[in-house]
Structure 1
Amino acid sequence: MTRRPLTKPRKIAAQERSRATVDALVEATARILVEEGFDKTSTNRIAEVAGVSIGSLYQYFPGKEALVVAVADRHRQEIMQVIRGELEEVRAQPVKQAIRTLVATAVRAHRVDPRLHRVIAEQIPQVGELEDLEVFSRENYTLFRAYLESRRDELRVDDLELASFICVTSIEALTHNAVLHYPELFSDEAMEALIDEGACLVTGFLISR
């Protein structure tokens, strides 16, 4: 029976010097993943790039899989920082403007280190603890569902739970697949077209008759 890799840190860095060591290890892991891929990422290589002894690495992480999970967690937090503030603005916006804001926010979130995003999404399914890199978490889905409820009179749809699922899934799939397979859409000019057309798609579903 194949043993599952350990994906939890051995301990949490509490002191400033320890946190700097962990940050260097996570940053080195991210760099190697992007430049060399998951298969060539090893604890020895990570320690070398980070300028940290292999003993110090194992003091905090049991193996490269735990470091990869730490990279994914950090990347997810960076994405969330992009969208938290902007989602609050949606509450007061009319439907067309709100949907465009949501699509634009998803696009900007996927522009956070897109090369790393692709590596995490495509190259490392063997790390079992990794969750999907979704921009719209359950919390944000709930906020969107509440927004639709507040605008119910403007919508053509009746089942807001289903409508929320369709809208959030469509926006997520559109932007996630763009960063994975069509990176050219993230140039400044193409990005505006992507936002406009994506917003038209979702808005048409919600309010067109």
Structure 2
Amino acid sequence: MDVNPRKIPTQRRARATTDAIVEASTQLLVEGGYERFTTARAAERAGVSVGSLYQYFPNKAALAAAVIDRCCDEFTVALEQALAGRPRITLAECIRAIVDVILVSHQIAPDLHKVVIELAPRIGVADKTDSMNRRMAEGIEAVLRLHADEIAPEIDLSTAATIIETLLVALSHRAAMAGRQEQNDVIASETTCMITRYLAAG
């Protein structure tokens, strides 16, 4: 299954066209799922011809992959922004910032999050979400290293970052699949407390 774009837009107008197509595809996937999703419907929703769409995307799998790409990129940027400047605050505040991005103010809406979870392995692009998760763990590890003096010396920071990332991703996926995002504030508080206690020195 070819999920790669036919060509990468370089001019502003071409980028605007592909952005519109990806946004239309996102809406359609959330509204009707992958089975009802077609390139013709995506082109119609985006206000472009099917021929224009095919200049960039060979099939609906490539469109879905582009949606997943954009979701992963947007989430990674949101996490990096949340962690920027964190050396000035405590470890507990950093952990809460990480938890908030992943569980509370997740940049991927719950319905779209569910689409990404289900579609990535189905169309053979699980490596995209895996890469996002690795970048998430790396970001968490970087924060932990900045606060190493607040963390128990026997804890391996790389391992701890992987554990925290795995826990938070599992919780966010479960919330998305269950449609219980309204409970995330409570879950975030409890999770922050649990992680902070796990890391705490003394």
TM interval, shorter chain, is 0.7 to 0.9
Shift of 1:72: 0.9
Unaligned runs of 5+ in 1: none
Residue 163 of structure 1: aligned partner? 160
Q: Per-residue displacement from partner, 1:123-179 (whole Å, max 9, x unpaired)? A: 453211243546964344234323333433432343222222212211222223212
Among 160, 163, 187, the residue aligned to 1:194: 187
Residue 143 of structure 2: aligned partner? 147
SS of aligned partner of 2:64 = helix
Task: Provide the TM-score with structure 2 as the length reference.
Answer: 0.86
Residue 70 of structure 1: aligned partner? 66
From the superposition, tell whether residues 42 and 146 of structure 1 become closer, same or farther in structure 2 (CA, over 3 Å).
Answer: closer
Residue 198 of structure 2: aligned partner? 205
Residue 98 of structure 1: aligned partner? 94
Unaligned runs of 5+ in 2: none
**Alpha carbons 1:25, 1:57 under 8 Å: kept:** yes
- Going by fraction, where is helix more abundant, 1 or 2? 2
**Alpha carbons 1:174, 1:198 under 8 Å: kept:** no
**Correspondence list, 1:37-76, <5 A:** 37-76=33-72
Q: Per-residue displacement from partner, 1:9-42 (whole Å, max 9, x unpaired)? A: 1111222322222122111211111111101111
Among 9, 26, 37, the residue aligned to 1:13: 9
**Alpha carbons 1:107, 1:195 under 8 Å: kept:** yes
Question: Are 2:25 and 1:32 aligned?
Answer: no
How far apart, in 1, do the equivalents of 2:18 and 2:122 lie? 23
Stretch moving more, 193-202 or 168-177: 168-177
**Correspondence list, 1:122-133, <5 A:** 122-123=118-119, 125-131=121-127, 133=129
SS of aligned partner of 2:99 = helix
* Root-mean-square deviation over aligned CA pairs: 2.4
SS of aligned partner of 2:34 = coil
Alignment size in residue pairs: 201
From the superposition, tell whether residues 146 and 11 of structure 1 become closer, same or farther in structure 2 (CA, over 3 Å).
Answer: closer
**Alpha carbons 1:141, 1:164 under 8 Å: kept:** yes
How far apart, in 1, do the equivalents of 2:4 and 2:151 lie? 45
Stretch moving more, 133-142 or 60-69: 133-142
